[in-house]
Structure 1
Amino acid sequence: MTKIAWVFPGQGSQAVGMGADLFDLPAVQPQLDVAEKILGWSVSDVCQSDDDQLSCTLYTQPCLYVVESLLAEHLKKQGRSPDVVAGHSLGEYVALYAAEVFDFATGLTLVKRRAELMNNAAGGQMAAFIGFDREQLEQHLQDTENVVLANDNSSAQVVISGTPAAVDQIIANVKAKRVVKLNVSGAFHSPMMANAATEFEDILATVNFLEAQFPILSNVDPTPTTQSELLKQRLVQQMTGSVRWRETCLQLSQQGIEQVIEIGPGKVLTGLVKRTCSNIALENISSMAQVS
């Protein structure tokens, strides 16, 4: 049998209208009702609203979690299951839910608090580098204070995170085909998130995690594990640690994965997998029409 990995995208993959063919299904109404009680607003309404609202961290992360979780549920109801799961940043929470580490409501409650903490962590900057000299970038990051590698997405694409001055210094000194400053409120996946991580660790301490039903590759450590406490600790580390997606892709290949299915809006993750592991078959599921 083909060895399959399910991967779940994070912030940046959202799109107005995502989940549209999900929200009218009677089977998903209980989860949508639970979501509205937890969040205090309607996921379906926000997903159909203007891009400015959906792109706000407070709304983006819960909406992605709900849409991706519902799609994963429908796949499982069809008898489909992965051999391994992984998620990019916010997507890791959907991976944990898909692996039955916690239930839908628990995951959404954690995502809501995470989004609030990240939204409040102002004062930082992030920038994406496409087509760059990795050795040069790593040297400048090593020599510059208050900036780190936040997302190692592929050999040709990374994101740095830190103070605006430090990020600007890296941009000025490292040649790249393209550099894009990200529209985010803070320096996510960097030491500047330390206070938020400490607060989030206290929240996580009150939540019971179960052993995962299949191995999970975490952002900060893509070594596969099903151990509940280790998975919880890795979530804490994710707030300040780098998203090691390039290594995650390599780990998928080492695990003998033959097909990767990206569950959620967009095709960002399958694009990154293709760049790192061109021999893995790819599939994208962003709507109910693609589930059946």
Structure 2
Amino acid sequence: MTKTAWVFPGQGSQKIGMGIDLLDLPAAKAKFKQAKEILGWSITEICETQKEKLSQTLYTQPCLYVVESLLADEMFAHSFQPDIVAGHSLGEYVALYVAGVFDFETGLRLIKKRAELMNNATDGQMAALMGFDQKQLEYELQKTENVVLANDNNSAQVVISGRPEAVETLLNNIKVKRAVKLNVSGAFHSHLMESASIEFKKVLESVEFADAKFPIISNFEPIATIDAATIKKRLTQQMTNGVRWRETSLEMQKEEVEKVIEIGPGKVLTGIIKRTCPDFKLANVNSLKDIKAQVKS
């Protein structure tokens, strides 16, 4: 059988209309209701009509967690299952839910707190860089204070994170084919998230993790594991350290993965994985229609 990885995208992949087709499923409808009780607001209302709110960290993270989790549930309902899982930033929490490390409610409560803390961590900037000289970027990162590599997505795409003036300085000092400043509230995956990370660690320590049913590749240390203690330790480092997605792709290759299915809105992860591992078979599941297409393939 084809060894398959399921991967889950993070903040930035959200889009209006995501998850609305799931409302026809009784199990999904029940979890949307449960989510409303936990959050105090409706995932479906935000996803259906409120584009501005959907782009705000406070709402984006819970919406993505719920929609991606429900899509994964439906994949299981159609007798699919992964051999290995991974998620990009927020998506790592969906991967942990899918692997049975914690249940849906626990994951959503963690994401609710994570979103609140990150939303309050202002005075930061992030920028995506496409087409650059790796050595020049490394040199500028070393000599420029208060800016770090937040996402190492592949050899041609990274994200930097830091204080706005530091990000601006670095952008002025390197040659880059394209730079896009991200619409985020803070400098995620950097030392500027330290206070939020300390608060969140206290929350994580109160949650019991189970060993994973499938190996998980974490953002902080991209080496596959099922050990609960290792998974929790790595997750406590995620908020202040970079997402090592290029290495995640290579770890999947090392684990002899042949097919990668991105579960969630958009095609960001399959796009960046393709550059690192061009021989992978890639598929995307954004909706019920996509799941039915997987059944037929």
TM-score tier, shorter chain, comes to over 0.9
Query: What residue number does 2:33 align with?
Result: 33
Contact 2:126 2:182 in 1 (8 A): yes
Gaps of 5+ in 2: 293-297
Which residue does 2:54 correspond to in 1?
A: 54
Q: 1:119-146: per-residue Cα shift (whole Å, max 9, x none)?
A: 0000111111100111100100001111
Shift of the alpha carbon at 1:178?
0.4
Identify the residue that residue 86 of structure 1 maps to in structure 2: 86
| CA–CA separation in structure 1 for the residues paired with 2:52 and 2:276 | 32
Cα deviation per residue 1:76-114 (whole Å; 9 max; x = unaligned)? 122211110000000000000000000000000000100
**In the aligned structure 2, how far is the partner of 1:262 from the partner of 1:202?**
31
**What is aligned with 1:161?**
161
Alpha-carbon distance between aligned partners in 2 of 1:49 and 1:275, rounded to the nearest angstrom: 34
**Number of aligned residue pairs:** 292
Residue aligning to 1:140: 140
| Cα distance in 1, alignment partners of residues 24 and 60 from structure 2 | 20
Quick check: 2:124–2:185 contact (8 Å CA) kept in 1?
Answer: yes
The amino acid of 2:125's aligned partner reads Q
Partner residue in 1 for 2:3: 3
- After TM superposition, the runs of 4+ consecutive aligned structure 1 residues lying more than 2 A away are none
Tell me the equivalent position of 1:151: 151
Aligned partners of 2:291 and 2:233: how far apart in 1?
Answer: 33
Which blocks of at least 5 consecutive residues in structure 1 are unaligned? none
1:258-273 correspondence to structure 2 within 5 Å: 258-273=258-273
Instruction: Give the superposition deviation at 1:50.
Output: 2.9
1:101 partnered with 2:92: no
2:181 maps to 1:181: yes
| Correspondence for 2:126 | 126
When the two structures are superposed, what TM-score results if normalisation uses the length of structure 2?
A: 0.97
Moved more, 44-53 or 241-250: 44-53
Q: TM-score, normalised by structure 1?
A: 0.99
Note the aligned Cα RMSD (angstroms). Answer: 0.7
Amino acid at match of 2:194: A
Question: What amino acid maps onto 1:115 in structure 2?
Answer: A
State how 1:194-233 maps to structure 2 within 5 Å. Answer: 194-233=194-233
- Cα displacement string for residues 44-89 of structure 1 (whole angstroms, at most 9, x for unaligned residues): 1100123211000011000000000001011112221111000000
